[in-house]
Amino acid sequence: MSLVDLPRYEFARPATLDETCAMLAEREAKREKTVLLAGGTDFMVQVSQGKLASDPLPLVVDIGRLDELRGVRLDGSRLRIGAAVTYLELQRDPIVREYAPLVAQMTHDIGGPTIQARGTLGGNLATASPAGDGIAAIAAYDPIIEVQSVRGRRRIPMAELQTGYKATTRAGDELIVAIELPLPAHGAAWCWRKVGTRLAQAISKVALGAVAEVSGGKVGRIGLAIASVGPTTSLLPRTRALVTATPLANLTAATVDAVVAEDVSPIDDVRSTREYRVHTAKAVVRGFLRELGAPV
């Protein structure tokens, strides 16, 4: 299977979200395979590698133009991002730049201009790659992922979404509608750090998204998420617990390194080694904590 075979696929473009949900429910009941297409950046890779060459071929459902999956909206202390909003739209959106600068910064490093113009957060989440830069950036905010089916809408905390390598709790008849970010206090510290062969157009060896609220030498709230250090995006729960329980002045490099090592479980692959990824994960976390005032 190669890109020249693309015309063999049957495509559908439902006009509304409700129509899409009805189509997914009908196909799921018949155990018919369906591929949801938003930006298509992952789909085209899968096609070119022959990973979707089943018999029969899956139905490709274009959801990228559904109005219900578009737009960015600020709702009090929460930022709602439509699942089909592209990275380029996030990069240019004044609300995102002001209230979620970590997300805006990440968009500059995810692929090249073509990927940024087509790729979406919803697609990144649905693919659930542990190397997904977009997932690491939004996961630092501990978002809620909203999905919909004919049964209604369901809200999934980020910590409960990924269940394994490219696996999620999203059912086969559900599609991701929106991502809701609970925003930290305005002006909170943040960090986006991608380590790779190149910043863009390269899969991360390690990527860190981090946000923190600091007052009186203590961290009241911190969000940490690292890509490419395990089968899912790591939310570093032990590291978060240590940092919020300990005054910044009392944190040591050895203590931080120890809990980060417990929170990550990388592997050796063609892009890097387990040893390098553990070392780098420790380094980028300590780098952020130094910015907060910790002597690490």
CATH code matching the domain that covers 67-182, chosen among 3.30.465.10, 3.40.50.10470, 3.30.420.40, 1.20.120.1200:
3.30.465.10
Residue 131 CA to its chain's centroid (Å):
9
Token output for 106: 């990440």
188: phi then psi, degrees, rounded to nearest 5? -60, 150
Asked whether residue 3 carries a pLDDT value surpassing 50, the answer given is no
What pLDDT sits at residue 51? 67
Is the separation of the CB atoms in 111 and 200 below 8 Å? yes
Helix axes of 274-292 and 253-263: crossing angle, nearest 10 degrees: 130
189: phi then psi, degrees, rounded to nearest 5? -70, 150
Domain extent listing, the chain: 3-62, 67-182, 189-292
What pLDDT sits at residue 198? 62
What pLDDT sits at residue 1? 43
Question: H or E element: which one contains 26?
Answer: helix 17-29
115 compared with 97, residue with greater pLDDT: 97
- Going by CATH, does the domain composed of 189-292 fall within 3.30.390.50? yes
Q: 34-51, pLDDT tens digit by residue?
A: 999 998 777 777 776 666
158: phi then psi, degrees, rounded to nearest 5? -55, -40
In the chain, DSSP finds a helix count (H) and a strand count (E) of 12, 13
Q: 249-287, pLDDT tens digit by residue?
A: 999 999 999 999 999 999 888 888 999 999 999 999 999
Of 155-164, 181-190, 244-253, 263-272, least confident by mean pLDDT is 263-272
What pLDDT sits at residue 286? 98
CA distances from 32 to 13, 35, 80, 195, 231 (A): 17, 10, 32, 40, 27
Q: Is this prediction's pTM over 0.95?
A: no
Q: 195-252, pLDDT tens digit by residue?
A: 977 655 567 899 999 999 999 999 999 999 999 999 999 999 999 999 999 999 999 9
Residue 102 CA to its chain's centroid (Å):
12
What pLDDT sits at residue 242? 98
Distance separating alpha carbons of residues 45 and 228, to the nearest angstrom: 19
